[in-house]
Amino acid sequence: MLKIGSVEIQSNIVTAPLSGCSDLPFRMICRELGARFCFFEMVDAVSLTRKHIKTIEMLKTIPEDSPIAAQLLGKDPDMMLNGAQLILEHAKPVLIDINSGCPVRKVVNRGAGAKLLESPAVLVSIVKKLASALPVPVTVKMRIGYDQKYSLDDTLDLAKACEDSGAAALFVHGRLASQKYSGEVNYAAIKAVKNAVKIPVIGSGNILNPTLAEKMLAETGCDGVLAARGALGNPWIFREIEHFLKTGVLMEKPSLSERKTDLLRHLLYIKTHKTPRRSGHMGLMRKVALWYVTGFPNAASVRGNITKTRKYEELAELIERIGE
């Protein structure tokens, strides 16, 4: 269990915010297979304020898609507060997180995402503004530093400053922004953050299977873990981690038929719940199907065939016939 401010979450395994991935169909399938707490995709405070349709659509949810958290991207405290209030009008997140970890060039070039790590005063003023005005807890998702020039002392000062400004928890990705998503996870730095603050710390980085989830908890003493890439095409990871943490025994992997059934259901949720792009749903459906392919028999040729499909029916038939 995880307690963030006044919010009690029935699990310490959290489904990460994943731009372009953690949409409603993804969350539905994850929840059905064991996820208990999910994030919407990150939303940009400026796009929200301008009421861009695509951004509003990212907040699409259904009653079973709960409890849920929202994450905001931006650097201007007033704009961030306005964005947070718009999120609360459109959806019912139990908390609002501030993105201080996105390493994408066009984001950091405008001073947002991971760049906030280098502007502690700005991050602190955003936390203060939101935490004092919003009816839900405010959290920060940060990295351990921006680039090799980082100092752990500065990171710890920033973590403490966020706590003192009203942050109710920290999600800490144990990599530098300059590492993007590769390279070692710095467990010692996450542990140092955990020891420096009293609020919950949720560790992120290489939560790819139950053993690595246990390693994160054991090496850092953190309060929970954030499953990100490990959940893409692998929504069974939540029940597998939970089972392993409870019993010390690895669960059997889902059968081929279960994998195929769950993938087909994921595609159906895309068909039912997503507004089609100009090219329909196929771009997203092929992307999602490719996530699941690892572990399928003849994965390389299946992958090639998926990329050639042009219609949902064609893709569904291809998946049904895998392993025949």
Which residues are marked as active site?
102
Query: Using the rule CB under 6 A, is 228 a contact of ligand FMN?
Result: yes
Q: What is the 3-state secondary structure (H, E, C) of 61-84?
A: CCCCCCCEEEEEECCCHHHHHHHH
d(CA 83, CA 80): 5
Size of the site for ligand FMN (CB under 6 A): 22
Query: Using the rule CB under 6 A, is 202 a contact of ligand FMN?
Result: no
From 205, 210, 224, 254, residue interacting with ligand FMN (rule: CB under 6 A): 205
Q: Which is nearer to ligand FMN, 112 or 302 (CB)?
A: 112
Q: How far apart are the first and last CA of the chain?
A: 42
In 181-280, which ranges are continuous DSSP H helix?
Answer: 187-196, 210-220, 237-247, 256-273
| Binding region for ligand FMN (CB under 6 A) out of 56-64, 153-161, 186-194, 225-233 | 225-233
CB of 313 to ligand FMN, least distance (A): 28
Q: Which of 4, 98, 105 is nearest to 43 (CA)?
A: 98
Q: Is residue 147 within 8 Å of 177, Cβ to Cβ? A: yes
What sign does the CA torsion over 287, 323, 297, 239 have? positive
Report which residue type is found at 88.
L
Q: Which is nearer to ligand FMN, 171 or 269 (CB)?
A: 171
Query: Using the rule CB under 6 A, is 230 a contact of ligand FMN?
Result: yes
Q: Which is nearer to ligand FMN, 49 or 179 (CB)?
A: 179
β-sheet bridge partners, residue 68: 38
CB of 41 to ligand FMN, least distance (A): 6
DSSP annotation of 276 reads P
CB of 4 to ligand FMN, least distance (A): 16
Q: Which is nearer to ligand FMN, 49 or 71 (CB)?
A: 71
d(CA 299, CA 164): 50
Query: Using the rule CB under 6 A, is 99 a contact of ligand FMN?
Result: yes
111: Cβ–Cβ under 8 A, 6 or more apart, which residues?
A: 75, 119, 122
Q: Which is nearer to ligand FMN, 188 or 256 (CB)?
A: 188
From 15, 61, 206, 234, residue interacting with ligand FMN (rule: CB under 6 A): 206
Q: Is residue 21 within 8 Å of 41, Cβ to Cβ? A: yes
Binders of ligand FMN among 289-318, rule CB under 6 A?
A: none
Binders of ligand FMN among 71-90, rule CB under 6 A?
A: 71
| Binding region for ligand FMN (CB under 6 A) out of 54-62, 83-91, 221-229, 294-302 | 221-229
Q: Which of 171, 94, 186, 183 is nearest to 140 (CA)?
A: 171
Whole-angstrom CA distances from 162 to 77, 88, 151 are: 14, 22, 17
Q: Which is nearer to ligand FMN, 5 or 17 (CB)?
A: 17
From 207, 241, 270, 288, residue interacting with ligand FMN (rule: CB under 6 A): 207
Q: Is residue 73 within 8 Å of 112, Cβ to Cβ? A: yes
Q: Residues 1-40 vs ligand FMN: string with x where CB under 6 A?
A: ---------------xxxxxx-------------------
From 141, 191, 259, 266, residue interacting with ligand FMN (rule: CB under 6 A): 141
Q: Enumerate binding residues for ligand FMN (CB under 6 A).
A: 16-21, 42, 71, 99, 101-102, 141, 173, 181, 204-207, 226, 228-230
